[in-house]
Structure 1
Amino acid sequence: MELLKQKIREVGVILSDEVIKLDAILNHAVDPALTTAMGREFARLYRDENVTKILTIESSGIPIAFAAAQELNVPLVFARRKKSLNTETETYCERVPSFTKGIVTDIMVSKEFLDEKDRVVLIDDFIANGDAARGLIRIIRRSGATLLGLGVAVEKSFQAGGRTIRESGIRVESLAKIASLAGGEIRFE
């Protein structure tokens, strides 16, 4: 998606050969026009799959997932990272490490919002090592729902996440694939 690549070039801050900061458009602030365009693109890619739910993980995936869900006219469900006092006791829960945060967290989805009748597309902002996506995939499988694929705004293709998920037979659609951040330069596939 050329618009996304252009925005990444404009606002991306390379912190190392493995980390790019995209706070201005994905992780701290939201560019509504770009987010809407990304949602439309994911909807176009999955429109013929009879999607019944979009699933993401809080918090940075929510705006893009919302835009896709709105375009497809289906509910959005997001995995929560922390249990609150009113969290359902009947949840699917997985422990996942975060590459950028350097921590391990529990993610959970209420059994009320995901079951065997659902046809689900995962949407997320980034994929690096793929740990969060694999956690959500395990939740979907435990629920009995059908996983149609994964939509990722930005894939760091020099890391194994997207590749290993594809190798497991899951469809992965990435709107921008960063091949390298070496030498302080963003190179796309």
Structure 2
Amino acid sequence: MEILKQRILKDGNVKEGNVLKVDSFLNHQMDIRLLDEIGKEFRRRFDGEGVNKILTIEASGIGIAVAVAQHFDYAPVVFAKKSKSKNLDGELYTSKVTSFTRGTTFDVQVSKKYLNPGDRVLIIDDFLAKGQALMGLLDIVAQSGATTVGCGIVIEKGFQEGGQMLREKGIRLESLAIIDHFEDGHVVFRN
């Protein structure tokens, strides 16, 4: 997606440890016009799949998932919570996830009320590095008996193993921008 790649080149900031900061337009302050274009692109890529639920993980994926949902006839957005709270009641689907960015492992959970066997779920997230968040979300969908139609990723770090691992498992993975590597503090995209 060229508009996204150009925005990453213009406003992205490569930090130590292969961390790409896109917080000025994607996951802290959000450019709503860009998110709308991202939503349109995911609709184009997953059109005809019968998506009736969008699943993401808190917090950075929520805004993106909402933008995507608008292009799927306002399908409900369900987000996995990273910590148990008093307002998360009843039976839960849970899965363990290790965060690349935070370096921690935690349980993510979704209420059993919101994912059902008849659902056709599109998983959306901002980044894909090692694939642990997606594996946790895929596990939750499997526990629910719903069908995962695919995973939509805004930015994939192609030099890390997550994308390859998921594709080898037969998961449909659509990434809008795939980074091949960082070179002298700059992003180099895969063709």
Q: TM-score range by the shorter chain?
A: over 0.9
Aligned positions, number = 189
Contact 1:50 1:119 in 2 (8 A): yes
Deviations 1:133-189 (A, max 9, x none): 000000001110001100000000000111100110010000000000132121001
Give the residue type in structure 2 aligned to 1:173.
E
1:28 shift after superposition? 1.0
Output the TM-score relative to the length of structure 1: 0.97
Q: Percent identity?
A: 48
Q: How does 1:5-24 map to 2 (within 5 A)?
A: 5-16=5-16, 18-24=18-24
Deviations 1:68-113 (A, max 9, x none): 1111111111111111112123010111110011111211010000
Q: What secondary structure sits across from 1:25 in the alignment? A: coil
Give the residue type in structure 2 aligned to 1:76.
V
Contact 1:17 1:184 in 2 (8 A): no
Equivalent in the alignment of 1:56 = 56
Give the residue type in structure 2 aligned to 1:44.
R
Contact 1:151 1:173 in 2 (8 A): yes
Give the residue type in structure 1 aligned to 2:49.
E
Give the residue type in structure 1 aligned to 2:150.
G
Equivalent in the alignment of 2:35 = 35
Contact 1:95 1:104 in 2 (8 A): yes
Q: Moved runs in structure 1, 4+ residues, more than 4 A?
A: none
Q: How does 1:83-162 map to 2 (within 5 A)?
A: 83-162=84-163
Equivalent in the alignment of 2:170 = 169
Counterpart Cα distance in 2 of 1:49 and 1:26: 26
Counterpart Cα distance in 2 of 1:51 and 1:76: 11
Counterpart Cα distance in 1 of 2:32 and 2:188: 25
Output the TM-score relative to the length of structure 2: 0.96
Counterpart Cα distance in 2 of 1:16 and 1:181: 11
Question: Which structure has the highest helix share of the two?
Answer: 1
Q: What secondary structure sits across from 2:116 in the alignment? A: coil
Contact 1:39 1:69 in 2 (8 A): yes
Contact 1:53 1:75 in 2 (8 A): yes
